[in-house]
Amino acid sequence: MMETILNLGLNDETVVGLIHRTDNPRFGYDSYRRFIQMYSHVVLGIDAEVFEGQLAALKSERGVKDDLDLAAADLERLVEEYREIVRRERGAHFPQDVEEQLWGAVGAVLQSWNTARAVEYRRIHQIASRGGTACTVQAMVFGNLGRRSATGVAFTRDPATGTKRFFGEYLMNAQGEDVVAGIRTPLPLADGAPGSTQPKETLAAALPECYHELEKLQQKLEHHYRDMQDLEFTIQEGELWLLQTRSGKRTAQAAVRIAVDMVSEGLIGKEEALLRIEPAQLDQMLHPTLDPTVRTAPIAVGLPASPGGAVGRIVFSADAAVAWYQNGERTVLVRPETSPDDIHGMHVAEGFLTARGGLTSHAAVVARGMGKPCVVGCETLHIDPETKEMRVGGQIYAEGNWLTIDGSTGAVIAGQMPLVTPQLVGEFETFMSWADALRSLKVRANADTPKDAEVAKAFGAEGIGLARTEHMFFDPGRLPVVRECLLAEDRETRKRALTRLLPMQKADFKGLFKVMAGAPVTIRLLDMPLHEFLPTRVDEIAETARAMGWTADRVRERAEMLREVNPMLGHRGCRLGITHPEIYGMQVQAIIEAVCDLARETGMESRPEIEAPLIAHANELRHLRAIIERVAEEAISRAGQRVPYTIGTMIELPRAAITADQIARHADFFSFGTNDLTQTTFGISRDDAGTFLKAYGEKHLFPHDPFQCIDTDGVGVLMRWAVERARAAKPGMEIGICGEHGGEPNSIALCHRLGLDYVSCSPYRVPIARLAAAQAVLTTGERK
């Protein structure tokens, strides 16, 4: 978890020997002051900004911009000032014993496993907490021995776009921490790289022999490891040293392009390419970019570190980002440079903007890993976290002001710019075609409107696995009519309200069927806790009273009578359809008439699947099926058309899962509603779980949040029972899942193992589900 490199073994005595050996006082004092700063921050816990402030003050006093412009005497003075900071902050001298330094550093690395940022990193990436970390002690080479020494980071391919080109940055006369920490803005390795302004700045021009050797080595390493590599190197007095190589972090766009290109190049096969990408990474490719048709006037331009557009309110600290996020606000985190301590704010921010740092700085690497837009090295910005101000071009931007960044061009724009959804073509289509050819699970989408359905279809959805009809009733134009229906004291009043809702519902369903063009559309009949629709505010009660011709007191009394102590387990779902069959009758009539109208107008066939919610007992579904069939057949008879339809239910209660064989006798299909199945299995309200589930995670009581990933030992066992018993009673029965778990990779793998026919998820998670379904085939070895 900690990658900080400490050059140990420097003290008052050894620095003198280093100066004598190298005949370079500047190098000796520079190495010593860097060591004091880093060791004090990492091991002694002193804020690095205290040392940076001392350095900035000295450069200002000397009238210089770059560390390199400070003389040996200036650096010797800094050493003493840094030592004084340690004495002031810690009440003790900076340690001079080399063994004490070594064991202090080892202890800091081992303890880093439990720091707040490490815990947050593991939470974000779902890494187990029981592993621990390790510490490497090794000899060092030095990149700060003069003008023929340098240090840098390189990638064998562009980590932002995936383009096959050697890419990286370096600093002359510097150590590795200077590059990755963003303290100085680095230079490109060769011409044509982002940020390259003058040929003389490149490593290829400054040290051509080292550059060409590095270029040969990167090709060799990529072919050996068969993956894009992230290299760290140091040049010590003209001699190249490779410090490490590892698979490089990359954006989702880059990951897909690299995988497809490497298959074309014969480095890997299609199946390995599919396993190279985490399904959740694809989410990065589905987010908006700046609308290219809108003219923009950037207030500044930095380096494009991670593509995509981000719009949010300016915040100057990670804590502020979290606070604004908790109030429902989008933010852009604006910092001089970021550090690992900012991880919690980076997780919730829309994007990042820094004044310092390059394309391999902390902000850039984290942004690409998270798939968030990022602009770095924007040196015209003057960012002051203390006063919470950003100054540029004579203008001041304060916390809370709106800001837009374009991580694809480096542009920084004041205000809110419009964003557009990207078109997924080229390598993405090729990659997803490999996944589609391999997977056995179908992928549908949860969609309640034609717009949602269009997005889902564009992302590859093969039908709608859940259309929630209650969501259609929240429209302001419909809500008063819905309230009339629910508050009605007799069936005739309720029927009059339903007659007004019928054409609205028919238009809803017709829109969905038209978009899906013959693909299956599962429509869940009304499933709403009544309290979500009953009027509560004075203005709502007054409006409802006027519409119904009642007094406000009568409306209030009726609403109070209908209000429930535990509405999630109350008069909802199939219970509402049984007590008020006219409600479900109206919806079924609207479904059948929508199919008939569309067929008559366009010749298009539709595949409605009518779903009864919250079934606990086989008798409930038997009763409702009779009502649904009667209404459907009456509508079909009136239209004079034959309409194929199926009737099924959601399995979202433990009793339904246990008695699935009995319920299956009255159902054509099942769909697991794992949101409610998880709630009723655990006895936990999903809406209230946030007050204690975090504590459960910290105490390792649950392996994961059961509302994010299916609980295999509890909910998963119920699902297995339901599948086995249902198909024993009705072989070949269609069974899917429509809870939000349908877009979570681990849950999708479970669905594959259980032999489900499809998963259904939100439209923007459809590509994730398609890839996860293919990976489930590869990881289980089970091809259905």
- Just list the catalytic residues: 362, 738
Helices 25-42 and 72-90 cross at an angle (nearest 10°) of 20
Positive or negative: CA dihedral 156, 162, 165, 169:
negative
H or E element that contains 726: helix 715-729
**Tokens standing for residue 406:** 């374009």
381 and 403 Cβ atoms separated by less than 8 Å: no
611 and 561 Cβ atoms separated by less than 8 Å: no
384 and 205 Cβ atoms separated by less than 8 Å: no
Positive or negative: CA dihedral 337, 6, 242, 228:
negative
The counts of H helices and E strands in the chain are 30, 26
d(C-alpha 464, C-alpha 758), whole Å: 10
- Choose among 423, 397, 403, 302: nearest CA to 354: 302
d(C-alpha 576, C-alpha 295), whole Å: 53
Cβ burial, residue 667 (10 Å; 0-12/13-18/19+): buried
Q: Which residue has the tokens 């297995």?
A: 720
32 and 10 Cβ atoms separated by less than 8 Å: yes
B/e letters for 606-626, b = 16+ CB within 10 Å, e = fewer, are bbbbbbbbbbbebebbebbbe
Contacts of 644-647 with C-beta under 8 Å, sequence gap 24+, read 644/607, 645/591, 645/592, 645/595, 645/608, 645/609, 645/610, 646/608, 646/609, 646/610, 647/609, 647/610, 647/611, 647/612
Nearby residues of 476 by Cβ (< 8 Å), 6 or more positions away: none
Sheet holding 395-398, edge to edge: 382-384, 389-392, 395-398
- Choose among 477, 474, 421: nearest CA to 451: 421
Positive or negative: CA dihedral 74, 79, 85, 88:
negative
**Tokens standing for residue 581:** 């069959």
Residue-wise DSSP of 131-155: S-----------S-SSTT-EEEEEE
Q: Which residue has the tokens 């564009």?
A: 458
Query: Which amino acid is it at 506?
Result: K
B/e letters for 763-784, b = 16+ CB within 10 Å, e = fewer, are bbbbbbbbbbbbbbbeeeeeee
Q: Assign 465 to helix, strand or coil.
A: strand
**Tokens standing for residue 697:** 């995670």
Query: Which amino acid is it at 163?
Result: T
Sheet holding 300-301, edge to edge: 300-301, 411-414, 402-406, 309-315, 331-335, 351-354, 374-376, 303-306
337 and 357 Cβ atoms separated by less than 8 Å: yes
Phi first, then psi: what are they for 653, rounded to 5°? Answer: -130, 145
Positive or negative: CA dihedral 713, 719, 720, 722:
positive
d(C-alpha 647, C-alpha 644), whole Å: 10
- Tell me, letter by letter, the H, E, C secondary structure of 668-722: CEEEECHHHHHHHHHCCCCCCHHHCHHHHHHCCCCCCCCCCCCCCCCHHHHHHHH
Q: Which residue has the tokens 């593509």?
A: 307
